[in-house]
């Protein structure tokens, strides 16, 4: 470590982590505010992330090493490049800096300073992918290339600095009109050394899309297959425990479309997103609220004096109150109860017959609607 005193190095780590997180979170919020195009928002967020990393590493690298991540500091300590007595202080500074950066970004956009995450991020697959992303060896070992990401088709998506994992980004987009996607991003520098440019990358089951060499935005099924000239993106707000929701999802897939599936009990829409979703379906908040199997009665929501805003507040506090499933396509938005309502906003590209879980036939052998 260069000859800078510990106090200056700790302050640098805290400041750098704060600026990095503020940029990542702030650019994500700004992208969501400016556009409903998921790909464009991911591109804007990723370019901002890559740019700030280059700037921060260039400025702060000579002072503290520009770790900005406890895992990076831990590995440097194990390699004896960071005194172990300094490790705890580095980690504390990075955590505090990250929290401060998130709060700063939220305040800049007039959001609540602190929000609880509703997405579960644990389990064997999650931890295994983290290990693979951080330490998996390969022919294009990121240790050989500064600011190079390992381009592996794994769940983990990583950004490296000096051969160590310095950043992973899981971005939850909840656009204003209700559509949404969960996706990972990482910055990619072409291992072949070719100059930056544009090339075509194909997604499974979709037409190829154009991406910069520095960007890989993963969500393989973000775009469904082109159907009669229409690049159809379908989003379903799904509850896997609900038979109607399962039938609706199965009917979408029977049309040859792989939708974006948002389990809204785990990933609750934003207030504006939920409000727009209900409005786009041509409903009021009371028509979109679920009574059966929910705390509807306990909360006194049957009171006709309650406003739509009050009902929205209840749905956001208790997502089980959001009726299901809502489906969004370019042909419209519907609360699909009964499930065959989804056929009103899908193209007539069904693969064949379809019956609900209870045996009710919905489509005949030629894919023609029966109900």
For residue 353, give the CATH number of its domain.
3.40.30.10
Note whether 251 and 337 are same-domain residues: yes
Neighbouring C-beta atoms of residue 5, cutoff 10 Å: 8
Q: 242 an active-site residue? A: yes
Distance CA 267, CA 80 (A): 41
The pLDDT of residue 251 is 95
Distance CA 142, CA 159 (A): 9
Residue 197 forms part of a structural domain: no
Q: Report which of 73, 57, 52 is spatially closest to residue 10, judged by C-alpha positions.
A: 73
Residues linked to residue 263 through DSSP beta bridges, in sequence order: 238
Residue 280 forms part of a structural domain: yes
Contact 292, 321 (CB under 8 A): no
The pLDDT of residue 179 is 35
Predicted confidence pLDDT, tens digits, the chain (371 residues): 445 788 999 999 999 999 999 999 998 888 877 877 778 888 888 888 888 988 998 899 888 888 998 888 888 888 888 888 899 999 999 999 999 999 999 898 888 887 766 555 667 877 777 676 655 544 333 333 333 333 332 233 344 343 333 344 433 333 333 333 333 332 333 333 333 333 333 333 333 333 332 222 333 333 344 444 444 689 999 999 999 999 999 999 999 898 999 999 988 888 999 999 999 999 999 999 999 999 999 999 999 999 999 999 999 999 999 999 999 999 999 999 999 999 999 988 888 899 999 999 999 988 889 98
Note whether 135 and 243 are same-domain residues: no
What is the edge-to-edge ordering of all strands in the sheet holding 326-329? 260-263, 235-238, 326-329, 332-335
Note whether 99 and 241 are same-domain residues: no
Distance CA 231, CA 225 (A): 6
Neighbouring C-beta atoms of residue 72, cutoff 10 Å: 24
Note whether 255 and 299 are same-domain residues: yes
Note whether 247 and 178 are same-domain residues: no
> Is the CA virtual torsion 237, 265, 105, 280 positive or negative?
positive
The pLDDT of residue 85 is 85
pTM of the prediction? 0.44
Contact 150, 158 (CB under 8 A): yes
Contact 87, 74 (CB under 8 A): yes
Q: What is the SS3 assignment for 214? A: coil
Note whether 129 and 236 are same-domain residues: no
Note whether 214 and 326 are same-domain residues: no
How many residues are recorded in the chain? 371
DSSP string across 13-52:
HHHHHHHHHHHHHHHHHHHHHH-S-HHHHHHHHHHHHHHH
The pLDDT of residue 133 is 60
The pLDDT of residue 246 is 96
Q: Report which of 296, 254, 267 is spatially closest to residue 181, judged by C-alpha positions.
A: 267
The pLDDT of residue 182 is 33
Structural domain boundaries enclosing 20: 6-112+125-190+205-218
Domain total in the chain: 2
Residue 238 corresponds to which tokens in the numbers above? 């799904």
18, 143, 211, 242: which one is catalytic?
242
Note whether 146 and 261 are same-domain residues: no
Distance CA 25, CA 323 (A): 30
């Amino acid at each position: 470590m260069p000859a800078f005193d510990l106090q200056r190095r700790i302050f640098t780590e805290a400041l750098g982590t704060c600026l990095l997180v503020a940029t990542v979170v702030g650019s994500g919020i700004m992208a969501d505010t400016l556009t409903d195009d998921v790909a464009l928002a991911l591109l804007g967020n990723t370019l901002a992330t890559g740019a700030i990393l280059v700037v921060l590493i260039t400025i702060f690298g000579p002072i503290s090493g520009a770790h900005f991540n406890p895992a990076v500091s831990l590995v440097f300590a194990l390699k004896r490049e960071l005194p172990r007595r300094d490790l705890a202080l580095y980690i504390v500074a990075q955590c505090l800096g990250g929290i401060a950066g998130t709060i700063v970004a939220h305040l800049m956009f007039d959001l609540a300073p602190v929000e609880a995450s509703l997405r579960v991020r644990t389990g064997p697959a999650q931890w295994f992918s983290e290990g693979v992303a951080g330490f998996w060896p390969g022919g294009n070992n990121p240790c050989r290339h500064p600011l190079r990401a390992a381009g592996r088709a794994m769940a983990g998506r990583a950004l490296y600095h000096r051969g160590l994992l310095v950043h992973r980004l899981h971005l939850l987009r909840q656009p204003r009109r209700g559509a949404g996607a969960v996706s990972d991003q990482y910055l990619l520098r072409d291992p072949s050394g070719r100059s930056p440019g544009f090339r075509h990358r194909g997604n499974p089951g979709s037409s190829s899309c154009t991406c910069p060499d520095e960007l890989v935005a993963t969500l393989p099924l973000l775009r469904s297959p082109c159907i009669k000239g229409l690049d159809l993106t379908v989003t379903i707000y799904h509850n896997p425990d609900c038979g109607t929701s399962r039938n609706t999802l199965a009917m979408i897939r029977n049309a040859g479309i792989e939708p974006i599936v948002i389990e809204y009990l785990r990933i609750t829409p934003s207030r504006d997103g939920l409000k727009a979703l209900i409005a786009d379906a041509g409903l009021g908040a009371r028509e979109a609220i679920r009574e059966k199997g929910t705390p509807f009665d306990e909360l006194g929501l049957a009171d006709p004096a309650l406003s739509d805003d009050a009902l929205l507040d209840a749905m956001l506090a208790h997502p089980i109150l959001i009726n299901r499933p809502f489906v969004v396509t370019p042909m419209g938005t519907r609360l699909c109860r009964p499930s065959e309502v989804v056929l009103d906003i899908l193209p007539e590209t069904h693969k064949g017959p379809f019956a609900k879980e209870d045996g009710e036939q919905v489509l005949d052998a030629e894919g023609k609607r029966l109900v």
